[in-house]
Amino acid sequence: MDMIGVLDLQGDVVEHIDHLERLGVNAVRVKEPSDFAHLTGLIIPGGESTCLARLLSILGIRDPILRQFQRGLKLWGTCAGAILLAKEIVGEPPVLALIDIEIQRNAFGSQLDSFVSEALVPLVAPQPIPLTFIRAPKITRAGTDVAVLLRQDDYIVAAESPDVLVTVFHPELTPSLAFHRYFALKCGLKPSVNEESSMIDPTWDSRSWTRYTRL
């Protein structure tokens, strides 16, 4: 059974699982090397990038990600996840270095500088998509094999290579299913929501993920 995994070490794990299940996509938590079986894609969620990088090494997850990526696993990093996937991190050594971008941590400032906005991303959805930025990084450079999906001012907030998607915002913290649908398609899966439908789920609210705390 093909499914998408969500790296379950720290950060927005259940929020991503909630969005995938709303699309009818099989989702699984990934905590150890054996959890990579049958994955066609892996989401590295937002959280704290330094903490996630240490846990990747301590728990022996870094090498399995690299091995599975060489075998065709698609990857999506949101916020901290995008930092881990970047080939270059300003002032720091890279972690996974799987997409040719340069990224700057906490580029907008402190937690108090978090904000929400909205933008049209034509390759992802025909309607504007809500964007939530929380202590977000900025992508300051993209390589020649990297397509920019969304640019704001002098920085990039969403980009992709054939096998890697990165967003510096948090689609899992909004009612929009657009980016999760886009990644599922990138993984070769068939989500239940089509492009002609509204990808704003009216049944979602900021506490929808809490149902997973009872599992």
Q: What is the set of active-site residues?
A: 79, 170, 172
Strands 86-89, 99-104: pairing kind: parallel
End-to-end CA distance of the chain: 22
**d(Cα 4, Cα 204) in Å, to the nearest integer?**
20
- Report the C-alpha gap between 205 and 149 in whole angstroms: 26
* Residue located via tokens 């500088």: 113
Report the DSSP pairing between strands 74-78 and 39-44.
Answer: parallel
Are 102 and 139 a contacting pair, CB within 8 Å?
yes
